[in-house]
Chains A and B, each alone.
Chain A
Amino acid sequence: EVQLVETGGGLIQPGGSLRLSCAASGFTVSSNYMSWVRQAPGKGLEWVSVIYSGGSTYYADSVKGRFTISRDNSKNTLYLQMNSLRAEDTAVYYCASGRRPYFNYWGQGTLVTVSS
């Protein structure tokens, strides 16, 4: 059974850093497109970043230069390193995967709150 479990969310002050993890089971992270998608409270879905099976990475303009997506193949885990956090980064962050860059598997989400 495919499962994605995100961890690492929490309350962080503006300007701080946080690393999210997404542990995958039932498939191989390195063979799939893996993405982070966020949803601010009461708002719609916003794509954040994607890592292709070949290793290429791409970012939304809103996070480029501040966030870094990566994966650890030995742990079958996806990461999102978030630096210079802002209030507008407050959201539920979902990990998602697919064989193409649309996503048929999603985690339950982890809440990141940026506030002083």
Chain B
Amino acid sequence: AIRMTQSPSSFSASTGDRVTITCRASQGISSYLAWYQQKPGKAPKLLIYAASTLQSGVPSRFSGSGSGTDFTLTISCLQSEDFATYYCQQYYSYLLTFGGGTKVEIK
């Protein structure tokens, strides 16, 4: 199975910060990557698919980039409601896999 590695696993940031989360695939996955946001006790929410396409209704401060093995999720100006855990997911392979998650905490 394709392994997805996210970094960092957690970090602290302040409202208004620009933050970047990285996701690396163990083999090339073209642009078959999605990003999700999950808050405690809630189901995940799709943010981005095809590496850089914003899901309908998601604020434009979220953006994604990358292809092949290296991908990034950027939040241009962190808002209070963005403190959450973020996951990447590849769908290049029939065997889907998620990254380990990145928790964004309040500084």
* Chain A, Cβ-Cβ closest to B96: A47
**Are A101 and B95 touching (Cβ within 8 A)?**
no
Q: With A44-B100, A44-B101, A104-B55 given, is the CB distance from A60 to B95 under 8 Å?
A: yes
Within 8 A of A (CB), among B28-52: 34, 36, 38, 43-46, 49
Chain B residue numbers with a CB within 8 Å of A50 are 94, 96
B89 interface contact, C-beta 8 A: yes
A35–B34 CA distance with the chains assembled, in angstroms: 15
B91 interface contact, C-beta 8 A: yes
Q: With A44-B87, A44-B101, A45-B44 given, is the CB distance from A102 to B95 under 8 Å?
A: no
- Please tell me the number of chain A residues within 8 Å of chain B, measured between CB atoms: 23
Chain B residue numbers with a CB within 8 Å of A108 are 43
**Are B101 and A103 touching (Cβ within 8 A)?**
no
A45–B38 CA distance with the chains assembled, in angstroms: 10
Chain A residue numbers with a CB within 8 Å of B44 are 37, 45, 94, 96, 103, 106
A41 to chain B, nearest CB (A): 12
A58 interface contact, C-beta 8 A: yes
Q: With A45-B38, A50-B96, A61-B1 given, is the CB distance from A104 to B91 under 8 Å?
A: no
**Are B98 and A101 touching (Cβ within 8 A)?**
no
Q: Sample 11 A-B pairs with CB under 8 A, ordered by A number.
A: A46-B98, A47-B89, A50-B96, A58-B94, A58-B95, A61-B1, A94-B43, A96-B44, A101-B91, A104-B46, A104-B55
| Nearest 6 interchain pairs by C-beta | A106-B43, A102-B34, A101-B91, A44-B101, A47-B96, A104-B46
